[in-house]
């Protein structure tokens, strides 16, 4: 679940990309990178760390140009290796290709094997390089960029939102199920921005134009958006975890306000799983909107029992369980006066492995809470995610092998309840058939060996729209 951005026709584009990536920092905290095109060549800088740690004024000044792409990484495929830090850059037959990708391919190994058989040498272990290899191979064989994208989308399977620069021109395409988000904005000075979430548009003062449609390819050139519908599906499969946890609360993803979804989950939780308590408190920050909804519906006062240290990252997306556990105490500290001898409802977004929840409840209990009722704004996560979220095996998921009552006992909660699947779908407001619910149901929108598939009827189309001035 990385964050990507691309900006074109904007002076000092590196600064705008910096702020866009800063707004997307919640999507990946391991590494960051910005590449720009100065009219002759690509200027590059990337490294481990947060956006503010990887870049400074002199570095941004060195990244000249009006067009560029950027990436913040949270590793799922390929592991935590320096060579896997994006963007990626390739030179071939007089062309320069730079590329960023958010998503997870499920047929990476077979595609690598095929292209290695053709003589391609891979320098990373990331599925993103497979996408680049397919595009480059098609362009080498005299296909247009549109044709290369079309062929690439036929070959790859899984989740993907891709932005790439080819000889200084910006392109993007999104998987036909719309699993990963991608939106388009218009910058005041005449340029355009593509980004994972609308908050990146806000950060540079851009006006939201629209979401990139699932299965669509776009080219941004000379102040014009060229659009081509490459693939279509009978229904989409928007990632439900974007609304549960990953997206920033102030984002709008595929026309839906993330904050409103989370608030509604809290309201429905209060109806489905009421509790007698003195206060409602979020597990900050991803539980905050749901806690306000729970408080509003239950009429139990909202009060923060836990204060977040704003200078720590998101514990779920840290690369190891040991780091997640250490980070909990660094990240959260109870307000003793709010919870001592009180019955507390803690509202959180999800339980994945259970270890973080257990430590949070232990902290609150240590500071004197009489009762701790844990309310979760998502159903139980029972199955792996193959499409970009870091819970890859059932063994890691506490709910895959334990009932709610057993989890309640293990984490030592007074009571534990989750929102129902139907309640979550109602809160999101998107039809069930247009959501990817694989982690909650064990049924996936793409074919995965050993797993049950809910087919979406994907097919190629050939519809090229006339250029439209925006």
Q: How high is the pLDDT of residue 468?
A: 38
What integer best gives the mean pLDDT of the chain? 93
- Checking if the pLDDT of 320 tops 70, the result is no
Question: Which residues participate in catalysis according to the annotation?
Answer: 2
The answer, yes or no, to whether the previous bond of 74 is cis (omega within 30 of 0) is no
Same domain, 193 and 283: no
273 part of a folded domain: yes
70 part of a folded domain: yes
> For the ranges 123-132, 145-154, 386-395, which has the lowest average pLDDT?
386-395
Q: Which of 12-21, 307-316, 330-339, 393-402 has the highest mean pLDDT?
A: 12-21
Same domain, 200 and 263: no
Same domain, 77 and 181: yes
> What is the band of 469 on the pLDDT scale with cuts at 50, 70, 90?
very low
Residues facing 424 on adjacent strands: none
Q: How high is the pLDDT of residue 315?
A: 56
CA distance 64 to 35: 9
DSSP 8-state secondary structure symbol assigned to residue 313:
-
Which residue, 70, 58, 76, 64, is CA-closest to 33? 70
Q: How high is the pLDDT of residue 465?
A: 44
Same domain, 145 and 29: yes
Same domain, 312 and 407: yes
Residues facing 219 on adjacent strands: 171, 226
Same domain, 273 and 168: no
Same domain, 233 and 279: no
93 part of a folded domain: yes
DSSP 8-state secondary structure symbol assigned to residue 13:
H
> What is the band of 246 on the pLDDT scale with cuts at 50, 70, 90?
very high
DSSP 8-state secondary structure symbol assigned to residue 118:
T
- Checking if the pLDDT of 244 tops 50, the result is yes
| Pair 381, 440: CB distance under 8 Å | yes
Structural tokens at position 15: 């600064």
Question: Please, which residues have CB within 8 angstroms of residue 121's CB and are 6 or more apart in sequence?
Answer: none
Same domain, 110 and 161: yes
Dihedral of CA 117/121/126/129: which sign?
A: negative
| Pair 88, 164: CB distance under 8 Å | no
251 part of a folded domain: no
- Checking if the pLDDT of 467 tops 50, the result is no
CATH number of the domain encompassing residue 155: 3.60.20.10
- Checking if the pLDDT of 241 tops 60, the result is yes
Same domain, 233 and 294: no
User: DSSP per residue over 255-291, as a string?
Assistant: TEEHHHHHHHHHHHHHHHS----SEEEE-TTTTHHHH
> Which residue range(s) make up the domain with 353?
258-430
Which has more confidence, 377 or 315?
377
Q: Number of folded domains in the chain?
A: 2
What are the pLDDT digits (tens) for 183-225? 999 998 889 999 999 999 999 999 999 999 999 999 999 999 9
144 part of a folded domain: yes
Which residue, 171, 206, 203, is CA-closest to 192? 206
- Mean pLDDT of the region 437-454: 96
Structural tokens at position 217: 């390819």
Cα maximum dimension of the chain: 73
What are the pLDDT digits (tens) for 262-302? 999 999 999 999 999 999 999 998 899 999 999 999 999 99
Q: How high is the pLDDT of residue 62?
A: 98
Same domain, 9 and 156: yes
- Checking if the pLDDT of 367 tops 70, the result is yes
> What is the band of 466 on the pLDDT scale with cuts at 50, 70, 90?
very low
Count CB atoms within 10 A of the CB of residue 267.
20
436 part of a folded domain: no
What are the pLDDT digits (tens) for 333-365? 889 999 999 999 999 999 999 999 999 999 999
Question: Please, which residues have CB within 8 angstroms of residue 445's CB and are 6 or more apart in sequence?
Answer: 177, 179, 237, 436, 438, 453, 454, 455, 456
Q: Hunting for tokens 């595609």 — which residue is that?
A: 111
Q: How high is the pLDDT of residue 81?
A: 80
Structural tokens at position 266: 């809290």
Same domain, 298 and 413: yes
Q: pTM value?
A: 0.93
Residues facing 4 on adjacent strands: 71
Q: How high is the pLDDT of residue 319?
A: 52
Q: How high is the pLDDT of residue 464?
A: 45
245 part of a folded domain: no
> What is the band of 7 on the pLDDT scale with cuts at 50, 70, 90?
very high
Same domain, 62 and 157: yes
CA distance 328 to 452: 35
The share of the chain scoring above pLDDT 90, in percent, equals: 84
CATH number of the domain encompassing residue 302: 3.40.50.2020
319 part of a folded domain: yes
CA distance 416 to 357: 11
What are the pLDDT digits (tens) for 27-58? 999 999 999 999 999 999 999 999 999 999 99
Angle formed by the axes of helices 355-366 and 404-411, nearest 10°:
50
């Amino acid at each position: 679940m990385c964050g990507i951005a691309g900006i074109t026709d904007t002076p000092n584009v590196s600064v705008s990309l910096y702020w866009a990536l800063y707004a997307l920092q919640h999507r990946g905290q391991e590494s960051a990178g910005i590449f720009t095109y100065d009219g002759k060549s690509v200027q590059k800088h990337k490294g481990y760390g947060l956006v503010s740690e990887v870049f400074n004024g002199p570095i941004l000044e060195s990244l000249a140009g009006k067009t560029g792409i950027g990436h913040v990484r949270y590793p799922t495929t390929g592991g935590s290796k320096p060579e896997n830090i994006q963007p990626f850059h390739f030179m071939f037959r007089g062309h320069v290709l730079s590329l960023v990708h958010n998503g997870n391919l499920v047929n990476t190994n077979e595609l690598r094997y095929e292209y290695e058989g053709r003589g391609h040498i891979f320098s990373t272990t990331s599925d993103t390089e497979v996408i680049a290899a397919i595009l480059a191979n098609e362009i080498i064989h005299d296909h247009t960029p549109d044709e290369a994208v079309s062929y690439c989308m036929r070959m790859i399977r899984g989740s993907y939102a891709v932005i790439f620069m080819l000889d200084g021109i910006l392109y993007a395409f999104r998987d036909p199920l719309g699993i990963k988000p991608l939106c388009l904005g218009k910058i005041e000075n005449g340029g355009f921005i593509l980004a994972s979430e609308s908050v990146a548009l806000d950060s540079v003062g851009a006006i939201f134009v629209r979401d990139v449609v699932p299965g669509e390819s776009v080219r941004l050139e000379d102040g014009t958006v060229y659009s081509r519908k490459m693939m279509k599906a009978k229904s989409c499969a928007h990632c439900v975890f974007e609304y549960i946890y990953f997206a920033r609360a102030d984002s709008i993803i595929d026309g839906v306000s993330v904050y409103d979804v989370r608030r509604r989950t809290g309201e429905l939780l209060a109806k489905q799983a009421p509790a007698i308590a003195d206060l409602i408190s979020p597990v900050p920050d991803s539980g905050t909107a749901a806690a306000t909804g729970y408080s509003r519906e239950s009429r139990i006062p909202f009060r923060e029992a836990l204060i977040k240290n704003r200078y720590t990252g998101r514990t779920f997306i840290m690369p190891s369980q040991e780091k997640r556990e250490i980070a909990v105490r660094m990240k959260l500290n109870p307000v003793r006066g709010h919870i001592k001898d009180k019955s507390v409802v803690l509202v959180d977004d999800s339980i994945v492995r259970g270890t973080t929840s257990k430590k949070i409840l232990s902290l609150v209990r240590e500071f004197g809470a009489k009762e701790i009722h844990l309310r979760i704004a998502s159903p139980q996560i029972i199955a792996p995610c193959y499409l970009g979220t870091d819970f890859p095996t059932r063994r890691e998921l506490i709910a895959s092998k334990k009932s709610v009552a057993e989890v309640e006992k293990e984490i030592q909660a007074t009571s534990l309840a989750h929102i129902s699947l139907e309640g979550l779908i109602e809160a999101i407001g998107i039809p069930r058939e247009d959501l990817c619910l694989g982690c909650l149901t064990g049924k996936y929108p793409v074919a995965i060996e050993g797993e049950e598939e809910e087919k979406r009827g994907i097919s190629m189309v050939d519809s090229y729209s006339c250029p439209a001035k925006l």
